[in-house]
A and B are shown apart, each in its own frame.
Chain A
Amino acid sequence: MKHLLLRLEPLIWLLFGQGILIGTIFLTGWLLVVGIALPLGWVGFEPGQALDYQRSYALSSTVIGRLILLALIALPMWKGAHHLRHLSIDHGGADRDAAVALSLYGLAALGSIAAIVAVVRL
């Protein structure tokens, strides 16, 4: 397991770095609109409004829209998995690292596969 984790280390660090960079950049906009403006009633999801089904589907189902969605969904999971693994090492030691890493990266990998399915079926 240690060997496999070392082999995957560059890929995991890449996904983690992009999770921070791209995830943070895209999530800020999403959270401002859906997390803040929507509950305040500044944007709506009824037909004819900014977040209605027709417009949301049209924006999300373009090639660029799907790629952005995939990044928005999958990359934060890898940022989360890698950060939590290192937090576990720092606070709990490396004894359980293989099991922790397998669980967290496994969950992020499953989530990423589900994200690919979600954007392909749009």
Chain B
Amino acid sequence: MSGAAHPDAMAPPQPGRTRTAPPRKPSSWPAHPRMRVYTLFGLTGVVYFAMGFVLLYVFWQLGKGDAAWMSVMASMTSPFFIAFHVLSLISVVFVGVRFFRLFPKSQPAKIGPAKPPPQPVILAMLYAVWIGLTGLFVAILAGGLF
């Protein structure tokens, strides 16, 4: 496998004269509907980042013992955490739906001699895995299993 390309490999050896103005984004670009949805998709990164650190705190407390765990679980019922978790759930579902819709389109036309299943089948499989594993996870956490 070849090594990583030089980051400036495509740059001209020296800056040349140009008669055209440098490229500029149109001022309406951030307000375009597609761009707004894309920006929202990117902003879910804030929620995922925060969610990772909240979970780190929760399971750090689990390692500290019974009292710390009871305290952190009690704090999960505060209005702040309820609002944060509702926002997180909306973000997670938004990311899941958008990513799973994109995933079948990104598959190669052929993998060796085999063709991947039709896009609707891949999408249905992804949803089945998501719903199935979520159901299993909920059943375990809520005490229905184990």
Contact surface of A with B, Cβ cutoff 8 Å? 2-3, 6-7, 9, 19-21, 23-39, 42-43, 45, 49-51, 53, 55-57, 59-60, 69, 72-77, 79-84, 86-87, 90-91, 107-108, 111, 114-115, 118-119, 121-122
- Which residues in A have their C-beta under 8 angstroms from that of B5? 6
Minimum C-beta distance from B93 to chain A (A):
7
Count of chain B residues near A, Cβ 8 A: 59
Instruction: Determine if A24 and B95 form an interchain contact, defined as CB atoms under 8 angstroms apart.
Output: yes
Instruction: Determine if A82 and B85 form an interchain contact, defined as CB atoms under 8 angstroms apart.
Output: no
A21 to B138, CA, bound (A): 17
**A interface SS class:** helix
Instruction: Determine if A76 and B130 form an interchain contact, defined as CB atoms under 8 angstroms apart.
Output: no
Instruction: Determine if A39 and B142 form an interchain contact, defined as CB atoms under 8 angstroms apart.
Output: no
A32 to B56, CA, bound (A): 18
User: B60-76 interface mask toward A, CB cutoff 8 Å, 1 = contact, 0 = none?
Assistant: 10110110011001101
Instruction: Determine if B52 and A39 form an interchain contact, defined as CB atoms under 8 angstroms apart.
Output: no
**Which of B12-20, B42-50, B110-118 faces chain A?**
B42-50
- Which residues in B have their C-beta under 8 angstroms from that of A25? 96, 129-130, 133-134
Instruction: Determine if A28 and B73 form an interchain contact, defined as CB atoms under 8 angstroms apart.
Output: no
Within the complex, which residue of A24, A35, A50 is in contact with B99, where a contact is CB–CB below 8 Å? Answer: A24
- Which residues in B have their C-beta under 8 angstroms from that of A49? 143
Instruction: Determine if B142 and A33 form an interchain contact, defined as CB atoms under 8 angstroms apart.
Output: yes
CB of B124 within 8 Å of the partner chain: no
Instruction: Determine if B146 and A83 form an interchain contact, defined as CB atoms under 8 angstroms apart.
Output: no
Instruction: Determine if B142 and A42 form an interchain contact, defined as CB atoms under 8 angstroms apart.
Output: yes
- Which residues in A have their C-beta under 8 angstroms from that of B55? 30, 69, 72-73, 76
**30 pairs from A and B in contact (CB 8 Å cutoff):** A3-B4, A3-B6, A6-B5, A7-B4, A23-B48, A24-B96, A24-B99, A25-B133, A29-B136, A31-B85, A34-B141, A35-B88, A36-B89, A39-B76, A39-B82, A42-B142, A45-B73, A51-B143, A56-B62, A73-B55, A76-B48, A76-B49, A76-B55, A79-B45, A80-B46, A81-B49, A84-B42, A87-B39, A90-B39, A115-B56
Within 8 A of A (CB), among B123-138: 129-130, 133-138
Within the complex, which residue of B38, B99, B130, B141 is in contact with A33, where a contact is CB–CB below 8 Å? Answer: B141
CB of B77 within 8 Å of the partner chain: yes
A9 to B62, CA, bound (A): 34
CB of B51 within 8 Å of the partner chain: yes
A60 to B92, CA, bound (A): 23
